[in-house]
Amino acid sequence: MLTFRRPDDLPVVLPALVDQARSVAGTARARVLVVDNDPARSAEATVAGIAADIAAGIAADTAAGTGYGDIEVAYACERAPGIAAARNRALRESEDSDLLVFIDDDERPSAHWLRELLRTLLDTGASAAVGPVVSEFAVEPDPWIAAGEFFVRRRLPTGTTVDVAATNNLLLDLAFVRRHGLAFDTGLGAFGGEDTLFTRQIVALGGSIVWCAEAVVTDVVPVKRLTRRWVVQRAFSSGNGWSMTSLILTRSPLRRGRLRARLTASGLVRIAGGAVRLSRGTVLRSTRDRAKGVRTIARGAGMVSGAFGYAYQEYRRD
């Protein structure tokens, strides 16, 4: 679990992750690793205190014959800024592990989350398994945001093969990762899209990513993200990241030129389609059409800007 200055989330999610680790104790030995991306090590004391409480509880359970053995809670500080650097630190800290699962510090795992991810990976022999993310809001979203479905993510049947995934609910086969020397691109650390590139590389190298519908995590959305500006910027970032990673994956200058043209055309089609829907929504006073039109325009604009080399710094730190 990566974290950056979210002290209120740690006491909630860490015990939940320990419970997840204990739930698979009969199948695998697991530990919980917290990678703090704050050079000031702001999460260290909180993690240490929680780890001590958890260790005491596990020891008591073990003594009573009801425990699942020792579950380690480990802490590492990655001083280099950027989410890609923090993810790479997690890879380095897991050199002795066979599998690595990522979850964000503002997410909450469902009851059998880890067990289901592990089962899906082992049953399919895939290189990675990914699960759905659903949102829970700190306050009721603006009706415009709800109508635009800005926080609605894809849901697929278990076993479906996908060609890209986010790393906020992703289990990796580290043997595949090591065999191909994969790492997160630190050049994307401030921009986002590092997970898009990483998982697309898995597929490009002959690996597979499978969907596990039962491995649900809940994303706790704070008030600051429930604004029209934030959700539109996220839609722009999504399109921008897709174009950027597509170009990175294409090495031939000739093919890159053709791809740039296709990405531009696709982005322009989205902008035009979004504009039509926005206009229709304005005339018909449809909040849904207005919001979805703006979302489509933003994603299309992101694709076009990415095709021409602009990179939106979603994770910039001032």
The 10s digit of each residue's pLDDT in 217-275 is 999 999 999 999 999 999 999 999 999 999 999 989 999 999 999 999 999 999 999 99
- What would the mean pLDDT of 109-113 be, rounded to a whole number? 95
Instruction: Identify each DSSP E strand in the chain by its residue range.
Output: 2-3, 31-36, 72-77, 99-103, 107-109, 128-130, 133-137, 161-162, 169-173, 209-211, 217-221
Domains of the chain, by residue range, sit at 2-225, 228-307
Q: What is the mean pLDDT of the chain?
A: 91
Q: Which of the four pLDDT bands, split at 50, 70 and 90, describes residue 66?
A: very low
Looking at residue 30, what is its pLDDT?
86
Q: Does domain 2-225 have CATH number 3.10.129.10?
A: no
Contact partners, residue 210, CB within 8 Å, separation at least 6: 120, 121, 124, 126, 128, 129, 130, 158, 159, 160, 161, 162
Bridge partner residues of 34 (DSSP): 75
Contact partners, residue 239, CB within 8 Å, separation at least 6: 267, 270, 298, 299, 300, 301, 302, 303, 304, 306
Looking at residue 59, what is its pLDDT?
65
